[in-house]
Chain A
């Protein structure tokens, strides 16, 4: 029983960050129909930005987190303006190929800039775990999961309650009508891509100190983000949040009670089942962005 509880806690902590990754990706797909293969690279960017801010510039932890988010947003906006805007109206395949190019270019730029050796990102939290009965959780992980939840909440508020969010939802529902109503589609796309990338960078900056920062770290993150999005339904905000948690718990329980060698397989089997029985995603009927 104690072991089961610990597995569940581990799974929820892991799932929280999957959710953060998935939300950024699902927003970009939902609003822009861009399959962002470079999503994981923004995650890596966030981790390295946090490393640079903390270990090299000596900024405090929260400032480093904000710096990483800013770096993600900035590069995301740049990427949209320079590469995606000229391609608007092109087929989804063309854009997909461009994003694969961005992925390869960013990963190799990271390798060139930082080298292949993993970096350990310093953090101010004590390393001894907090103990609650049979459960152990590291203070850093607790901070990560709470911050992830707060960021997801903020993202939701932004989309639901602000004028910008209303414009984003309108664009998602019907781009042409939104444009006729005076929504600046170009700007909305830039903001959406920057916002999605910033969320990925936030996940990287949060998880970097928990794990290690290395140039290929984004590959696994991308894979998980895509899994979460498929699980939750493409373009579905709430679906991505719940899908993330679900994937985290499924993997953890699979590793705990089936076989740890098949940990990733458990997650993918869950996705295959969802696709077989609910092809539009688990939460297809739940509220979409809007």
Chain B
């Protein structure tokens, strides 16, 4: 009896050891999982899908070069349905069930803000690719790294250009979210500092389609410029309805996420004379520090049959993936805390320009903030131009 026990032990122990070794070896080969949350359905679904497409290009490029740490990267993409509640539960799912090592999220500021407590709770680095609300990097969440410009950075980066437009009085029409309200304050401060006075400030629901009430009020204010912060779909409706009401205003959209070629297509002549704050210029790749990379991204996007209109969103997905991959490479292991610490050392070239993080927020608990390039473009006679005032 004792002998047979020993025999069994002799057979089982090496078998278990072999199994354990296989598992470790398997883990080494398994792809590194990166989570991504985007609005893939709902009112801003188009934008979220473009970011996803860009991220997939980023992932494929990183993997084509051999991945990171000798392993491929895998993107696990969840839909937040353009809804902050869904963003929080999607974050929980990716962190707990899928065990991702880092996350990229969530397009809209309200959705990102809803997912942020989860990130801190579980201790996982988050790269914010689009959201502009100032509060994102000011909440003292040391796991947050933002590559997109907050509204204040857009406003101060464009100060000279806005000044050159000679705005005497402006009105603001913004989506009723953290992003919209943040933009009203940020751009309002810069405009007022430069001698412009404020007319009316109007808000709209993210899903609202009829904006005539707001535009009628704007019309009565007698200002010369209408500042607009919202998604490209609503900007289209505003341009069209402004034309229907004969609202003779210079329209300037903020947020860096509008797609002027989409506006030209959907709003037609109503888009003429409008200005748009942008972060990526697929029409003018040479405006970016690494023109070759910017051009290669535009070419790859078109080669995949993605709509050109989506490029002004899509580049963010690529840049976010590249940032996370570089963080993992510097960390040298797929450990959440190590990747967080490594993100501070990242200095990588994105399609917009170099990505590196500076500290922002309360001392000791700072978030990372990148300083991307910001541009102002004008639609003139159905064509896009970089105004001379650059």
Chain A positions near chain B (C-beta within 8 angstroms)? 2-3, 6-7, 10, 14, 108, 111, 115-118, 120, 127-129, 131, 136-138, 141, 207, 211-212, 214-217, 219-220, 251-252, 255-256, 259-261, 263-264
Quick check: A256 and B205 within 8 Å, CB to CB?
Answer: no
Contact of A10 among B208, B216, B269 (CB under 8 A): B216
Contact assessment for A264 and B205 in the assembled complex, using a CB-CB cutoff below 8 Å: yes
Q: Are A214 and B268 in contact (CB under 8 A)?
A: no
Q: Decide if A136 touches B217 in the complex (CB within 8 Å).
A: no
Closest to B202 in A: A260
Those of B35-49 within 8 Å (CB) of chain A: 40-43, 45-46, 48-49
Task: List the 6 closest A-B pairs by CB distance, nearest first.
Answer: A116-B45, A255-B213, A261-B203, A138-B244, A117-B46, A120-B266
A245 to B266, CA, bound (A): 29
Tell me if B3 is interfacial: C-beta within 8 Å of chain A: no
What residue of chain A has the Cβ atom nearest to residue B220's Cβ?
A3
Task: Classify the secondary structure of B's interface with A.
Answer: helix
Q: Once the chains are docked, how many angstroms separate the CA of A111 from the CA of B243?
A: 30
9 pairs from A and B in contact (CB 8 Å cutoff) = A6-B245, A10-B210, A128-B243, A214-B46, A216-B82, A220-B208, A252-B213, A256-B217, A261-B203
Also in contact, A129 and B243, with CB within 8 A (given A117-B46, A216-B43, A260-B204): yes
A44 to B306, CA, bound (A): 25
How many residues of B sit at the interface, in one of the four size bands? 35 or more
CB distance from B301 to the nearest CB of A (A): 15
1/0 per residue B302-314: CB within 8 Å of A?
A: 0000010000000
B45 touches A216 (CB 8 A): yes
B270 contacts the other chain (CB 8 A)? yes
Nearest-Cβ distance from residue B239 to partner chain A, whole angstroms:
10
Asked if B233 lies at the interface with its beta carbon under 8 angstroms from chain A, I say yes
Tell me if B194 is interfacial: C-beta within 8 Å of chain A.
no
Given contacts A10-B212, A116-B40, A216-B45, contact A260 B217 (CB under 8 A): yes
B window 155-171: CB within 8 A of A: none
Q: With a CB–CB cut-off of 8 A, which chain B residues contact A261? A: 176, 202-204
Q: Is the CB of A263 within 8 A of B208?
A: yes
Q: Give the residue of A2, A120, A220, A260 whose beta carbon is less than 8 angstroms from that of B213.
A: A260
Q: How far is the CB of A271 from chain B (nearest CB, A)?
A: 17
What is the bound-complex CA distance between A120 and B240, given in angstroms? 11
Please, how many angstroms separate the alpha-carbon atoms of A259 and B48 in the complex?
30
B323 at the interface (CB under 8 A from A): no
- Select which of A115, A116, A211 is within 8 A of B209 by beta carbon: A211
- CB of A214 within 8 A of CB of B43, answer yes
**Residues 174-212 of chain B, each 1 if its beta carbon lies under 8 Å from chain A, else 0:** 001000000000000000000000000011110111101
**Distance A214 CA – B41 CA, assembled complex (angstroms):** 10
Q: Tell yes or no: B246 within 8 A of A by CB.
A: yes
Q: A3-B220, A211-B209, A251-B213 are in contact. Are A131 and B265 (CB under 8 A)?
A: no
When chains A and B are docked, how far (Å) is the Cα of A116 from the Cα of B80? 13
Q: Given A3-B217, A127-B268 in contact, is the A211-B205 Cβ separation under 8 Å?
A: no
CA distance A211 to B219 in the complex (A): 20
Contact (Cβ within 8 A) A7 B237: no
Determine the distance from Cα of A186 to Cα of B367 in the docked complex, in whole angstroms: 64
A residues in contact with B214, CB < 8 Å: 255, 260
Q: Which residue of B lies closest to A265 (CB)?
A: B205
Which of these, A2, A137, A256, contacts B244 with CB under 8 Å?
A137
